[in-house]
Amino acid sequence: MGRRNLRGNGRSIAALHRKSVNVTLPTALVAEARALGLNFSHAAQAGVAAAIARIRAEGWLAEGRLSLESSNAYVEQNGLPIVGLRRWDNVEC
């Protein structure tokens, strides 16, 4: 059973939130995917979502790396700013 047409215009609500795109793939890859019954839309969606997540993570790590390097340089030059304020700094073992 297909998706129900809830809009009365021949398109389902789910289809209204999707965009058709053309993708060019190697012939052998397409043949194998079809032989396995792979849903190209779902596979492409998963692949694009994974690529977006990877690129965002790389960007976050690059931004974070600069902050960490700056913070580490400060500590190397000045020491920890809270030394002496922590309770265990003043405890003899």
Domain spans in the chain, listed from the N-terminal domain onward: 13-90
Residue 3 contacts residue 14 (beta carbons within 8 Å): yes
Given a cut of 70, is residue 7 above it in pLDDT?
no
**Residue 33 CB-density burial (10 A; 0-12 exposed, 13-18 middle, 19+ buried):** middle
Among 7-11, 14-18, 87-91, where is mean pLDDT lowest?
Answer: 7-11
pTM over 0.85: no
More confident residue, 16 or 28: 28
What's the pLDDT at 90?
60
pLDDT digits (tens, 9 = 90+) for 34-71: 999 999 999 999 999 999 999 999 888 888 888 889 99
What is the CA 88 to chain-centroid distance, rounded?
Answer: 40
